[in-house]
Amino acid sequence: MIDNFKKMIRYLLFIYILSVPSICFSQKPNILWITVEDISPTLSMYGDSTAKTPNLDRLASESSIFTETFTTVGVCSPSRSSIITGMYPVSIGTHQMRTGKDVFGWGSRNYNGISNAIDVNGDSIPFHSVVTPPEVKCFTEYMRAEGYFCTNNSKTDYQFAAPVTAWDQNGENAHWRNREKDQPFFSVFNFDVTHESKMWLHRDKPLTVEPSIVPLPPYFPDTETVRNDVARNYSNIELLDKMVGDLIKELKSDGLLDNTYVFFFSDHGGPLPRGKRSHYESGLKVPMIIRNPYDKSKKYINDLVSFVDLAPTMLSLAKINIPDHFQGNTFIQDENINSKRDYIFGSGDRFDETYDRVRSVISKEYVYVKNYHKDRPAYKDVLYRKNIDMTNEMLKLNEEDKLNADQKYWFRESKSKEEFYIKSEDPYSLKNVISDSKYKHEIKKHREALKSWQRRINDIGAESEKRHLEHMWPNGIQPKTQKPELAFKGNIATIRSKTIGASNAYIISDIDFQPSLDDGWKLYHKPVIVNKGYIYVISTRLGFEDSDIIKIKL
């Protein structure tokens, strides 16, 4: 009888543990990401006051301004894959731009149609979803498991379809306001008004920045067309500023501004020629402003920060253990922990229909570049960027030999095996000093840093894209996640994945219905109490087709 009593006590205790939140909501900070597209640090807090941005200025006045923040690849999809996974794209196979049509929300999950992608050997690459190594997951899964309400509004573009385990809400209506009372949130809002496409889609909008006053880097010719496009870029930034201001007003009106970390950053460098898709600072360097609600002093942080550092930093802020497979460092942390980096590592491989292979190492003082295809032009003849007027004008001026040496440098027909630039003397990376013996020691240090990094993270860029796709999708067929196993002990349900690396999600409903991706799937991370109605369960792994849904009526 005593044994039965002990079993009953243990059972009731187990039920209690399952029924209470896994964390105390009040102990976790809220986090808001304001992510924007295609801007370089061309903002007043970085010394460029061409665009008038009162809302960003106000945010910066209470924030840490990071002066040395870099993406991993100078273009959307690979960059965003590193943000969401905490992994380098060349390590997990997400380094080619772009592999499928999974750009917004849950993704299209449709890989039919004809892709214009050609790999290094000239082989055609069909649309596909990248299958990442089994340990790789969206970092938001770890936050959801600890009680965070995670929302994304609404671009994903990870090179794989967003799994239902990543977000509580993922779409145009996703918002922190939909969470439970006092539940901590991690919310992402993405603004595309500064995207490259807006350079031509906004042609009919009035310019709010005078073309005659815009600064021009030395690699741009000073023409009316160039000035108009540069002014358009700054005008789009002014439109962005209003959107940022409106979102922060929402946060403030909800009484959340003073207990929410606010991050502002761009996914990669600006949309103008030699910016986006570039492996130099002009393509990799981005603005990052972070408002700490517990320390609102304005300060400049000169530490090197990579996008692979974002995922571990979010988990660190939320006091969640960081998985061993993450490849980044935390950069907001206990001052006693030293995880400052000496180098930034960047890569460039296929961009749409144009292939090359380039690796970058950026330190505080130097930029080192390794070119794997010296015979390929430095300029990437991507059709998409030719929608920008100044791109076509620069191509024409180059053909007519009307550009000076700095302006022609981007159009050189071949490249040296290595490049080396001194940032203080040559901020635009135009004077390659790789042959200068004065820098022999530093060149060797950067060269060895690249080799060490490539070994450490297993850079798979040498493998052709077609061969890598054959590994991921045997016989050209997307692998499918197996149905999960669902077991009950009384009213306690446990779920197990049959597919290595898969995660599980579930819905409990009073009514019988056909669940869709938008129906609020809960992340399974511990046994679930189910008293009545129906339970729906699905398994998902990055790059795999989702499993069939299991439905059980109780």
Contact yes or no for 109/161 (Cβ under 8 A): yes
Region class of 343: left (phi > 0), else alpha (psi between -120 and 50), else beta? beta
What would the two tokens of residue 519 be?
Answer: 């129906």
Q: Is there a catalytic annotation at residue 76?
A: yes
DSSP 475-526: GG---BPPPPEEEEETTEEEEE-SSTT-EEEEEEESS-----TTS-PEEP-S
- Please compute the mean of the pLDDT values over residues 421-442 and round it to a whole number: 98
How confident is residue 367, by pLDDT bands cut at 50, 70 and 90? very high
What fold characterizes domain 22-343?
Alkaline Phosphatase, subunit A (3.40.720)
Of the chain, the percentage scoring pLDDT greater than 70 comes to 94
Between CA 90 and CA 73 the distance in angstroms is 10
Between CA 251 and CA 502 the distance in angstroms is 35
DSSP 60-122: HTTSEEEEEEE-SSSSHHHHHHHHHHSS-HHHHT--SB--SS--BTT------S---EE-TTS
Cβ contacts of 443 within 8 Å, gap of 6 or more? 368, 418, 420, 434
Residue 15 has pLDDT above 50, yes or no: no
Of the chain, the percentage scoring pLDDT greater than 90 comes to 93
Residue 25 has pLDDT above 70, yes or no: no
Domain with CATH 3.40.720.10 in the chain: 22-343
Domain 479-553: which CATH class?
A: mainly beta
Which candidate, 292, 295, 270, places its Cα nearest to that of 283? Answer: 270
| Model pLDDT for residues 114-171, shown as the tens digit of each residue | 899 999 999 999 999 999 999 999 999 999 999 999 999 999 999 999 999 999 999 9
| Model pLDDT for residues 313-362, shown as the tens digit of each residue | 999 999 999 999 999 999 986 544 457 899 999 999 999 999 999 999 99
Which of 24, 76, 138, 150 is an active site residue? 76
Contact yes or no for 32/189 (Cβ under 8 A): yes
What would the two tokens of residue 439 be?
Answer: 């820098």
Residue 75 has pLDDT above 90, yes or no: yes
Contact yes or no for 310/328 (Cβ under 8 A): yes
How confident is residue 554, by pLDDT bands cut at 50, 70 and 90? confident
Cα dihedral 334, 335, 336, 342 sign: positive
What are residue 149's DSSP bridge partners?
A: 185
Question: What are the phi and psi torsion angles at 366 (to 5°)?
Answer: -140, 160
Between CA 95 and CA 359 the distance in angstroms is 12
Contact yes or no for 95/347 (Cβ under 8 A): yes
| Model pLDDT for residues 493-527, shown as the tens digit of each residue | 999 999 999 999 999 999 999 999 999 999 999 99
Residue 307 has pLDDT above 50, yes or no: yes
| Model pLDDT for residues 370-379, shown as the tens digit of each residue | 999 999 999 9
How confident is residue 366, by pLDDT bands cut at 50, 70 and 90? very high
Cβ contacts of 176 within 8 Å, gap of 6 or more? 30, 32, 149, 151, 185, 187, 254, 256
Choose between 338 and 85: higher pLDDT. 85
| Model pLDDT for residues 175-230, shown as the tens digit of each residue | 999 999 999 999 999 999 999 999 999 999 999 999 999 999 999 999 999 999 99
Choose between 13 and 371: higher pLDDT. 371
Which candidate, 224, 221, 273, places its Cα nearest to that of 397? Answer: 221
| Model pLDDT for residues 225-258, shown as the tens digit of each residue | 999 999 999 999 999 999 999 999 999 999 999 9
Which candidate, 339, 369, 366, places its Cα nearest to that of 450? Answer: 369
Cβ contacts of 356 within 8 Å, gap of 6 or more? 348, 349, 350, 371, 372, 373, 376, 380
- Please compute the mean of the pLDDT values over residues 459-483 and round it to a whole number: 98
Does 82 sit behind a cis peptide bond, omega within 30 degrees of 0 on the bond before it? no
Domain with CATH 2.60.40.10 in the chain: 479-553
| Model pLDDT for residues 519-547, shown as the tens digit of each residue | 999 999 999 999 999 999 999 999 999 99
| Model pLDDT for residues 274-288, shown as the tens digit of each residue | 999 999 999 999 999
Contact yes or no for 368/447 (Cβ under 8 A): yes
How many helices and strands (H and E) does the chain possess? 13, 21
pLDDT of residue 338: 52
How confident is residue 55, by pLDDT bands cut at 50, 70 and 90? very high
pLDDT of residue 333: 67
DSSP 145-162: HTT-EEEEESB---SSPP
Pairing of strands 260-266, 285-291: antiparallel
As a whole number, the mean pLDDT across the chain is: 94
- Please compute the mean of the pLDDT values over residues 45-71 and round it to a whole number: 98
Number of other residues whose CB lies within 10 A of the CB of residue 190:
19
How confident is residue 17, by pLDDT bands cut at 50, 70 and 90? very low
